Amino acid sequence: MKRITLFLTLSAVVLVAAGCSPGSQLTNSEKISAIDAMAVETLQRLYKEKPSTETEVKTAAGYAAFSNANINIIFASGGGGYGVVVDNATGHKTYMKMGMGGLGLGIGAKDYRQVLLFENKDVLNRFIYSGWEFGGHADAAAKAGDKGGEVSGEGYIGGVKVYAMTEAGLALQATVTGTKYWKDKELN
């Protein structure tokens, strides 16, 4: 049973990771445009749902917007995504990828967005060059478009404030995850 679960989880992670980029058929400039558009849409949604965040984003050392998808099958979860980190002082953008894996109880799949706010320049640079985030995660989501419900949240981890918003999916999970963010070599 454990081997079947592991195989299914790894297969799901590969499928999610393959589907979590702006598109392999696009040129690099088209991928950058798609990521920038996703970031703008994600920020606009965050501002609409929580108006005070607009000031938080502008006064932070920098921010990141990521599009993520994850799958949880019984005892294991995995996922991937892409995004952009913006240094508010310089306007410089760093395009990144992310992957995650974890253990815990749950089942389901979901597509969600994250906005990360960096407390200071050191935290921003550490994220760009190291990119690890560890933490527990518990949520419930049943959403398709504007229909359905979700329990999303915000957290604060080592100088990074994180807002998460579910786009679509059906998931009930409580996991301990490890997430790695890294620079996209093709887009930087």
Secondary-structure percent of the chain, ordered helix, strand, coil, rounded to 5: 30, 50, 20
- Residue in 59, 102, 99, 72 with CA at minimum distance from that of residue 83: 99
pLDDT by residue (tens digit) across 101-159?
A: 877 666 666 678 999 999 999 999 999 998 776 655 444 434 344 444 444 455 667 78
Domain residue ranges of the chain, discontinuous segments joined by +: 2-183
pTM (2 decimals)?
0.76
